[in-house]
């Protein structure tokens, strides 16, 4: 979401072209701004984000293929390149209202800078020397700026720092200063209210909003919301916005409680905070303009929505989306479950269970597909997912688990995966399977485990160490962390050492948690899906795993999609993936059904 005098704009994925298209709000809904062949997407850090911002009379957006910033006329859709360097990518775009220019993170050959792109296409270097940059934010006067940086081997949610600087009349930065958190922690999403600076920091255990003031060369940090809840998710992408100033001391904030997002408004410093849009369970890209709060909202029973919240009367209006996904067809809603501490595990683990559409039958509990989310520093949210609905409508129950290491449950829970990847996450998946079997929500004979990317690693490790699972599926999953460490992209180049420990210090751990070296322990059938253009989990990860399983004479299937990258974007490939998985799960359900009935 981005808004200015030029209008209210957002990105919408177009399945026909596999592009993110720019749309704008109108008096009666919305309309496209860019043509279907003009995709908007940043590739900074491999995950992009912040690919568009609204200026005074135009929108600026990163074109997906060339990665150059374009100035787009919101009335005609005409796009004109304002940067023309084929060797760089841009992301995290922010409009500088004082100097009428775009601030951005620029990435070139393993190096990042904070830059300003001016109207004459000149690119001014604002700051460099740090490994990574994110989240530039300007004060109301435009005379102060803040941003976030971090250094290898850290990920931004492990350790990152706040920066501030003054902006002179020519637009250059002066008196740049770095402000680490008072204790070990990470920061994200600096925001100014007037000239006062606020930022989210987790140095006290949760991503909470803090007011940061400066005197005598020191920073003073004051917590603005002491609720023990994360107020943001893990910053995999640039341009995230989970809170924003409403003026007069008022704020809009997202708060995550028990895996669900809540939107809270405090209209002024003197008023109490209240929750709005309670039908939704996740909120992103908050922005305010002309006494209206805009955001992207998700729920369990409708398509993603663009919401406008009138700050005068609290009325919530849907600008786009929000339709029933399958008119006339029931939607299966998630049921939260929580597993208490046990057997040496001192934390709760939670997730969401989706029953088959016909419910539980007298014939016994249903087959269960247990899904490990990717990241692994990510989250399973209770939001509409067409793939989950697909399984529920074909006779399967589904469970998504927020294992240790997931975001949204505090810093301690998130960092519990350090050195424990392939152990803690797998143990929590096993606990979830056992719990759901014990309470009659899953058939112990027909448990399947599935994951994509790092979730594929979790699924593979679960198959190597447990006989619980009838079969497993890896969607472009990690099978050889040591080999991946040699070729992974810069953003995640220190991530594997954090997840497993340095290989020179823990060689036995790396061997024990390398699926390709433990493949002989897998007793059930496996199915693999891989994109040939994947630059995050390179194709050799899947090739090597399949080759070892074939050499061992184990049951294995491989489905290759040469034109796809990390995550399948083309609709026909998404359909093919589901069809192959359905045949795989049905076949393996049938094999262990004593009566020969085909499930699904």
Q: Classify 576 as helix, strand or coil.
A: helix
Q: Classify 390 as helix, strand or coil.
A: helix
Q: How do residues 200-221 score in pLDDT, each as one tens digit?
A: 999 999 999 999 999 999 999 9
Q: How do residues 566-587 score in pLDDT, each as one tens digit?
A: 989 888 999 999 999 999 999 9
- Distance, in Å, from the CA atom of 330 to the CA atom of 298, rounded to the nearest integer, reads 18
Q: Please check whether residues 279 and 360 belong to one and the same domain.
A: no
Q: Please check whether residues 288 and 340 belong to one and the same domain.
A: no
196 located within any domain:
yes
- Which letter does DSSP use for residue 232 in this model? S
Q: Please check whether residues 315 and 228 belong to one and the same domain.
A: no
Which tokens sit at 11? Answer: 């990105």
What domain range includes position 257? 242-323
Q: How confident is the model at residue 328 (pLDDT cuts 50, 70, 90)?
A: confident
Strands 471-475 and 447-452: parallel
pLDDT of 137 over the 60 cut: yes
Which residues neighbour 424 within 8 Å (Cβ) at sequence distance 6 or greater?
A: 403, 404, 405, 416, 417
pLDDT of 161 over the 50 cut: yes
pLDDT of 266 over the 50 cut: yes
- How many structural domains does the chain have? 3
- Distance, in Å, from the CA atom of 12 to the CA atom of 283, rounded to the nearest integer, reads 16
pLDDT at 323: 92
Residue 202: asked if its preceding bond is cis (omega within 30°), the reply is: no
Beta bridge partners of 310: 292
Q: Which of 441, 363, 366, 400 is nearest to 600 (CA)?
A: 366
pLDDT at 591: 66
Residue 503 exposed, middle or buried by CB count within 10 Å (0-12, 13-18, 19+) = middle
Q: How do residues 251-265 score in pLDDT, each as one tens digit?
A: 999 999 999 999 999
Q: Which of 75, 72, 144 is nearest to 103 (CA)?
A: 144
Q: What is the pTM for the complete model shown?
A: 0.93
Which residues neighbour 452 within 8 Å (Cβ) at sequence distance 6 or greater?
A: 374, 474, 475, 476, 477, 567
The position carrying tokens 């030029």 is 6
- The DSSP element (H or E) to which 579 belongs, if any, is helix 571-591
- Distance, in Å, from the CA atom of 223 to the CA atom of 206, rounded to the nearest integer, reads 11
- Which letter does DSSP use for residue 263 in this model? E
pLDDT of 600 over the 60 cut: no
Q: Please check whether residues 143 and 192 belong to one and the same domain.
A: yes
Distance of CA 466 to the CA centre of its chain: 29
Beta strands in 419-548 (DSSP E): 447-452, 471-475, 526-531
408 located within any domain:
yes
Residue 23 exposed, middle or buried by CB count within 10 Å (0-12, 13-18, 19+) = buried
597 located within any domain:
no
Q: How confident is the model at residue 320 (pLDDT cuts 50, 70, 90)?
A: very high
CB contact at 8 A, 371 and 408: no
Percent of the chain surpassing pLDDT 90:
89
Q: Please check whether residues 147 and 83 belong to one and the same domain.
A: yes
Q: Which of 242, 205, 151 is nearest to 416 (CA)?
A: 205
- Distance, in Å, from the CA atom of 499 to the CA atom of 517, rounded to the nearest integer, reads 18
Q: Please check whether residues 317 and 371 belong to one and the same domain.
A: no
87 located within any domain:
yes
Cα–Cα separations (whole angstroms), residue 175 to 49, 96, 143, 147: 28, 19, 12, 14
Average pLDDT, the chain: 95
Q: How do residues 372-398 score in pLDDT, each as one tens digit?
A: 999 999 999 999 999 999 999 999 999
Q: Please check whether residues 343 and 411 belong to one and the same domain.
A: yes
Task: Out of 293, 323, 353, pick the residue that ends a domain.
Answer: 323
pLDDT of 599 over the 70 cut: no
Which residues neighbour 58 within 8 Å (Cβ) at sequence distance 6 or greater?
A: 6, 71, 72, 73, 74
pLDDT at 169: 94
Q: Please check whether residues 377 and 319 belong to one and the same domain.
A: no
Residue 442: asked if its preceding bond is cis (omega within 30°), the reply is: no
Q: For position 402, which CATH number holds?
A: 3.40.50.1820
Q: For position 38, which CATH number holds?
A: 2.130.10.120
CB contact at 8 A, 453 and 566: yes
Cα–Cα separations (whole angstroms), residue 532 to 56, 563, 581: 42, 6, 19
598 located within any domain:
no
Cα–Cα separations (whole angstroms), residue 450 to 215, 393, 453, 459, 512: 52, 18, 10, 6, 20
pLDDT of 598 over the 50 cut: no
600 located within any domain:
no
pLDDT at 592: 65
Q: Please check whether residues 310 and 410 belong to one and the same domain.
A: no
Q: Please check whether residues 431 and 461 belong to one and the same domain.
A: yes
Task: Out of 196, 223, 241, pick the residue that ends a domain.
Answer: 241
Q: Please check whether residues 55 and 184 belong to one and the same domain.
A: yes
- Distance, in Å, from the CA atom of 183 to the CA atom of 126, rounded to the nearest integer, reads 28
Q: How confident is the model at residue 418 (pLDDT cuts 50, 70, 90)?
A: very high
Q: How do residues 464-503 score in pLDDT, each as one tens digit?
A: 998 999 999 999 999 999 999 999 999 999 999 999 999 9
Distance of CA 556 to the CA centre of its chain: 30
Cα–Cα separations (whole angstroms), residue 351 to 242, 260, 339: 22, 11, 9
Task: Out of 221, 241, 261, pick the residue that ends a domain.
Answer: 241
413 located within any domain:
yes
Q: How confident is the model at residue 29 (pLDDT cuts 50, 70, 90)?
A: confident
Q: Which of 224, 227, 287 is nearest to 252 (CA)?
A: 287
562 located within any domain:
yes
User: Rg of the chain's alpha carbons, rounded to an integer?
Assistant: 24
pLDDT of 597 over the 50 cut: no
Q: Please check whether residues 311 and 368 belong to one and the same domain.
A: no
CB contact at 8 A, 383 and 298: yes
Task: Return the number of other C-beta atoms located less than 10 Å from residue 586's C-beta.
Answer: 17
Which residues neighbour 120 within 8 Å (Cβ) at sequence distance 6 or greater?
A: none
């Amino acid at each position: 979401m981005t808004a200015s005098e030029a209008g209210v704009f957002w990105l919408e994925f177009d399945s026909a072209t596999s592009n993110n298209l720019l749309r704008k709000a109108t008096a009666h809904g919305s309309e496209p701004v860019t043509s279907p062949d003009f995709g908007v997407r940043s590739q900074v850090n491999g995950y992009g984000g912040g690919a568009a911002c609204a200026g005074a009379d135009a929108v600026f957006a990163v074109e997906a293929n060339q990665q150059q910033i374009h100035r787009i006329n919101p009335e005609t859709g005409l796009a004109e390149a304002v940067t023309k360097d084929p060797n760089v990518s841009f992301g995290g775009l922010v409009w500088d209202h004082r100097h009428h220019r775009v601030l951005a993170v620029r990435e070139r050959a393993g190096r990042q800078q904070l830059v300003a792109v001016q109207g004459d296409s000149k690119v001014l270097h604002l700051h460099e020397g740090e490994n990574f940059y994110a989240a530039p934010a300007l004060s109301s006067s435009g005379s102060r700026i803040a941003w976030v940086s971090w250094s290898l081997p850290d990920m931004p949610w492990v350790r990152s720092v706040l920066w501030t600087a003054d902006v002179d009349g020519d637009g250059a930065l002066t008196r740049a200063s770095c402000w680490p958190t008072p204790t070990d922690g990470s920061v994200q999403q600096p925001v100014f209210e007037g000239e006062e600076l606020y930022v989210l920091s987790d140095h006290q255990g949760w991503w909470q909003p803090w007011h940061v003031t400066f005197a005598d060369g020191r920073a003073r940090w004051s917590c603005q919301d002491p609720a023990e809840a994360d107020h943001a998710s893990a910053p995999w992408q640039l341009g995230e916005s989970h809170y924003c100033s409403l003026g007069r001391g008022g704020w809009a904030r997202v708060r995550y409680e028990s895996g669900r997002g809540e939107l809270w408004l405090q209209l002024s410093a003197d008023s109490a905070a209240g929750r709005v849009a309670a039908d939704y369970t996740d909120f992103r890209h908050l922005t305010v303009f002309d006494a209206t709060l805009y955001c992207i909202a998700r729920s369990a029973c409708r398509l993603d929505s663009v919401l406008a919240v009138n700050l005068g009367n609290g009325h919530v209006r849907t600008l786009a989306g929000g339709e029933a996904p399958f008119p006339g067809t029931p939607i299966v809603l998630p049921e939260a479950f929580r597993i208490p501490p046990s057997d040496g595990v001192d934390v709760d683990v939670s997730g969401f269970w989706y029953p088959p559409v016909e419910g539980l039958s007298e014939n016994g509990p249903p087959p269960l597909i247990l899904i490990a989310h990717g990241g692994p520093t990510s989250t399973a949210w209770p939001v509409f997912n067409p793939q989950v609905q697909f399984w529920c409508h074909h006779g399967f129950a589904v469970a998504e688990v927020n294992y240790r290491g997931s975001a949204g449950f505090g810093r301690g829970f998130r960092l519990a995966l350090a050195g424990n990847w392939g152990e803690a996450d797998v143990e929590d998946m096993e606990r979830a399977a056992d719990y759901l079997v014990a309470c009659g929500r899953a058939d112990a004979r027909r448990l399947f485990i599935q994951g994509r990317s790092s979730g594929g690693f979790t699924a593979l490790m679960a198959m190597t160490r447990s006989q619980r699972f009838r079969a497993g599926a890896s969607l472009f999953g990690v099978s050889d962390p040591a080999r991946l460490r040699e070729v992974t992209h810069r953003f995640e180049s220190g991530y594997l050492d954090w997840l497993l420990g340095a290989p020179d210090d823990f060689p036995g751990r790396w061997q024990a948690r390398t699926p390709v070296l433990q493949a002989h322990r897998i007793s059930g059938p496996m199915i693999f899906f891989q994109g040939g253009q994947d630059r995050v989990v390179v194709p050799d990860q899947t090739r090597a795993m399949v080759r070892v399983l074939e050499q061992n004479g184990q049951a294995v299937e491989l489905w290759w999609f040469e034109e796809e990258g990390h995550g399948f974007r083309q609709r026909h490939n998404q359909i093919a993936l589901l069809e192959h998985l359905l045949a795989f799960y049905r076949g393996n359900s049938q094999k262990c059904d004593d009566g020969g009935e085909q499930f699904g």
